[in-house]
Structure 1
Amino acid sequence: MALSGTIAQIQKALASGDVSSVDLISSAFSEIEREDGDGDEIFVRTFKNAAITQAAASDAMRKMGVPQGPLAGIPISVKDLFDVEGAPTTAGSAAYASVAEPAKRDATVMARLRAAGAIFLGHTNMTEFAYSGLGINPHFGTPLNVWDRHIGRVPGGSSSGAALSVMSNMAVAAIGSDTGGSVRIPAAFNRLYGFKPTTGRHPMDGVFPLSTTLDTVGPLARSMHCCRILDHVMAGLPVPEPDIRPISGLRFGILETIALDGLDMDVAGAFVRALETISRAGARLERIKIDALYNFEEISSLGSIAGPEAFHKHRDFIIAHGRQIDPRVLSRLEASADVTAADYIEMLALRQDMIERSHLATRSFDAILMPTVAIVPPEVKPLLASDALYTEANYKVLRNTALINNLGRPAATIPVGLKGGAPVGLMVVGEQGADAHVQDIAESLDEVLMPKRD
């Protein structure tokens, strides 16, 4: 059985006996190991033997009627940021791979997924240290976007392999991280669903750090309900039933500040079509401007919060192994060494002011809507040839998602691009702590938009 269904669909097939977990694992590794496939660029290491053993155990318990968790027998991929017992965690870095030792225990979010029955297929490729939104990796290769393969476009990052593992039928779903958009960008670029939680919703122990202020973890999958299941399991919460309701009468804010600047024509067109469909379904749309969000541009001009936090965390390794690090990643990290303590404190103050004032402006809306990414996936070759083009594209790709990371808010992305056209995501943003509400809204919107998309 190809791994092209949702978690709910595959759970149903497992329960009926139409498929076994061993069948799913076999299908996954048939794709991963195909000689003409992209498995070597999507995964940096696999856990095949352990996965087969766990699948057989899950099948045996199912036959005996032993109750199992909500992810029992479901194969998922794991970004190379998460500790998995017995395997090294190398953050997409060849230099780190040379010194990393096998993890002694699972990261807490991985332990919760494992306890729920999930089967880990392997660590997926990513931008080194998760420090770019493009998904380019000179060490382990760059898996190409599923759209426009003859040209060769970026997969989105930093959770590049996570998205491609799902789109290439190598996994049912994937776990990534999101510090500036690293779940939502590759999800939007590959017609998937992605969810970034409220900052602090999930424990971060055993997760390779980039920014202590902004780091979050989240799922990429084929439905928002899949994302809901994975998110709640990682948060240590029971999985609620979706509260999908008609969107008629709901009130959505359309963010004009920053979020709509410089949109690609394909993105603008898909966004407008989505809003028209939502409006015809009876929702109220109101354009809003929030001057406090210009703090984000000031934070960016001072060097960003993630930069100095990442440099502080990894500076000893950078000093010892800098020549082995992706030059584009290294240059951004080294530039953060010049950020002063005063500037860093100022950035944190600007962020807090932005959080407080934007909450006052949006708290009466059911959700805020905006394009997930301002541009379509750019071509890889020009970015490799020009540092200036790389830097410009990286900023455009990260801008909208990173804005929401700085607000600490939950956000979902759902695909809205036309079938056969460029991949485009619609971002649904809620207030801090309203994670389940955002998931409800995203699922409700998806039901309205799906006929237009397909």
Structure 2
Amino acid sequence: MPRSNTPSRDRLEAILARLDARRDEERVFMKLYADAARAEADAADRRLSDGKSLGPLDGRILSIKDLFDIAGEPTLAGSIVRRAAVPAAADAAIVRRLRAAGAVILGKTHMTEFAFTAVGLNPHYPVPGNASDPSLIPGGSSSGAAVSVAEGTSEIAIGSDTGGSVRIPAALNGLVGLKPTARRVPLDGAFPLSPSLDSIGPLALTVADCALADAIMAGETPKPLAPLPLDGLTLGIPKGALLENLTPEVAEAFEGSMQILSCAGVTLVDCVIDDLLARFAEATSIGSIAGIEGSRIHRDWLKDEDERVDSRVKATLRRRLAVSDAALEKLLRTRQDLVRAMDERLTPFDLVLLPTTPIPAVGIASVEQDKMEYRRVEDLLLRNTQVANQFDLPAITLPMAGTSLPTGLMLVGRSGTDGMLLAASVSVEALLQVG
């Protein structure tokens, strides 16, 4: 959405007052930069008054996930074991670019530990409850990022997405969330989970705001989105594993979305990719790429069995240490072969369409103590979104109409087609506007 006519400082003060009123029970923000944000907002307002605006992001209020470097402080990445880490020497690359465009950085948001899990729980910190109902999970790992936008304490949030960590919480909180083609946005100064899969993306209320933040972070000049005509567009529908086990409400809403798109002139064609998914699953039977690469990043503290790290994170990473470097290299070569195969498979389609998650948010209590239920929910949340990371594809989630709890409709493009994906998404967004 365009910048509000209300001065940035006034919008900021309204948010800060709201956060101050709940400061003893804050669950969304890890850290606030109130004084710096006030200075940034005042500077943006002066530029606007003087006719020297830096562009459409100037004066917009942003939150950033707790894994981006801010000069002079340790980057915690949602973990208490990093409180004594060496302070960052400089801001992360994307933070520098956002500041240069006039963004007001309000604070860092909560996340799951080391960005490793998708449900949204972190045993060291309170859970940022879902914006639609605080008793429900927010989704992860960019949990606080999603809630900050959905509740109105930031206008755009920046998260990371290694298997769906932007799109899952965006979908569960009724937002737009973008995972760009990974190489477009620099990872410098972002605490890594899996260098082969990590990407940085925005969460916002609209496709236009996501496109704006994405362009700035990618070092591109932001331009107004020109909606792509839907009439004549061909969307692949991946019949098979990715459409199994949908809740009845999600299945009905997805069917309704397809009908609306079809009436608008979109051609819907079955898209068969289950064989490629099966080949990827076979290749990662030794462990996920994120788990194996993550075990290398965290090798030092993994030697200490008593280290205070989420057991769900620690157990997985410790198992993956046993995977040899040679096996990892072979896996990554196999992945590149499958990336090429998927790109060829998707050639007949402009985009692929599917539900972002098969289920809406579940109760926090249902997964906090029941390990089996936690794993079932996490596997479902990751199932559809992780495909874009595994096969190096850009993807976006849009709010899907017709469900009592927020759910997402995901559009997936071929690698490098981010511009077309966004142009199509703004058209789909208008067509399927959630009331």
Specify the alignment match of 1:318 in structure 2: 302
Match of 2:188, SS state, is: coil
Matched, 1:353 2:337: yes
Match of 1:397 among 374, 381, 385: 381
Give me the whole-angstrom Cα distance separating, in 1, the residues matched to 2:339 and 2:64.
31
Question: What amino acid maps onto 1:74 in structure 2?
Answer: R
Give me the whole-angstrom Cα distance separating, in 1, the residues matched to 2:103 and 2:73.
17
Distance 1:110 1:333, change over 3 A: same
Q: Is the 8 A contact 2:162 2:193 kept in 1?
A: yes
Give me the whole-angstrom Cα distance separating, in 2, the residues matched to 1:322 and 1:314.
14
Q: Is the 8 A contact 1:95 1:321 kept in 2?
A: no
Specify the alignment match of 1:249 in structure 2: 232
Specify the alignment match of 1:334 in structure 2: 318
Give me the whole-angstrom Cα distance separating, in 2, the residues matched to 1:87 and 1:220.
24
Specify the alignment match of 1:71 in structure 2: 57
Deviation track 1:405-428 (CA, whole Å, cap 9, x = no partner) reads: 011111011011336x12111111
Q: After TM superposition, give the deviation of residue 300 of structure 1 in Å.
A: 4.2
Match of 1:182, SS state, is: coil
Match of 1:261 among 219, 244, 248: 244
Give me the whole-angstrom Cα distance separating, in 2, the residues matched to 1:41 and 1:87.
21
Specify the alignment match of 1:372 in structure 2: 356
Deviation track 1:52-110 (CA, whole Å, cap 9, x = no partner) reads: 1111122222222223233111110000010122333100111212x134322111111
Specify the alignment match of 2:46 in structure 1: 60
Q: Is the 8 A contact 1:176 1:182 kept in 2?
A: yes
Q: Is the 8 A contact 1:253 1:369 kept in 2?
A: yes
Match of 2:29 among 29, 43, 54: 43
Match of 1:312, SS state, is: helix
Greater displacement, 347-356 / 376-385: 347-356
Matched, 1:28 2:15: yes
Q: After TM superposition, give the deviation of residue 274 of structure 1 in Å.
A: 0.6
Matched, 1:234 2:226: no
Distance 1:322 1:418, change over 3 A: farther
Deviation track 1:310-361 (CA, whole Å, cap 9, x = no partner) reads: 1101111333585311111111211211223354234223322221112112
Match of 2:156 among 173, 190, 201: 173
Q: Is the 8 A contact 1:188 1:372 kept in 2?
A: yes
Specify the alignment match of 1:439 in structure 2: 422
Give me the whole-angstrom Cα distance separating, in 1, the residues matched to 2:286 and 2:19.
42
Matched, 1:275 2:258: yes
Match of 2:49, SS state, is: helix
Specify the alignment match of 1:413 in structure 2: 397
Match of 2:72 among 67, 72, 86: 86
Q: After TM superposition, give the deviation of residue 194 of structure 1 in Å.
A: 0.5
Deviation track 1:9-63 (CA, whole Å, cap 9, x = no partner) reads: 42xx1xxxxx21111110121222223896x210111100110111112222222
Q: Is the 8 A contact 2:353 2:412 kept in 1?
A: yes
Alignment of 1:124-163 (within 5 A): 124-149=109-134, 152-163=135-146
Deviation track 1:210-252 (CA, whole Å, cap 9, x = no partner) reads: 0010000000000000000000000000112212133111111
Give me the whole-angstrom Cα distance separating, in 2, the residues matched to 1:211 and 1:83.
17
Greater displacement, 138-147 / 221-230: 138-147
Distance 1:266 1:443, change over 3 A: same
Q: Is the 8 A contact 2:115 2:141 kept in 1?
A: yes
Specify the alignment match of 1:3 in structure 2: none
Specify the alignment match of 1:16 in structure 2: none
Q: After TM superposition, give the deviation of residue 140 of structure 1 in Å.
A: 1.5
Question: What amino acid maps onto 2:407 in structure 1?
Answer: V
Give me the whole-angstrom Cα distance separating, in 1, the residues matched to 2:73 and 2:301.
20
Match of 2:368 among 376, 381, 384: 384
Q: Is the 8 A contact 2:301 2:307 kept in 1?
A: no
Give me the whole-angstrom Cα distance separating, in 2, the residues matched to 1:296 and 1:428.
21
Give me the whole-angstrom Cα distance separating, in 2, the residues matched to 1:25 and 1:62.
16
Match of 1:200, SS state, is: helix
Give me the whole-angstrom Cα distance separating, in 2, the residues matched to 1:227 and 1:342.
39
Q: TM-score, normalised by structure 2?
A: 0.96
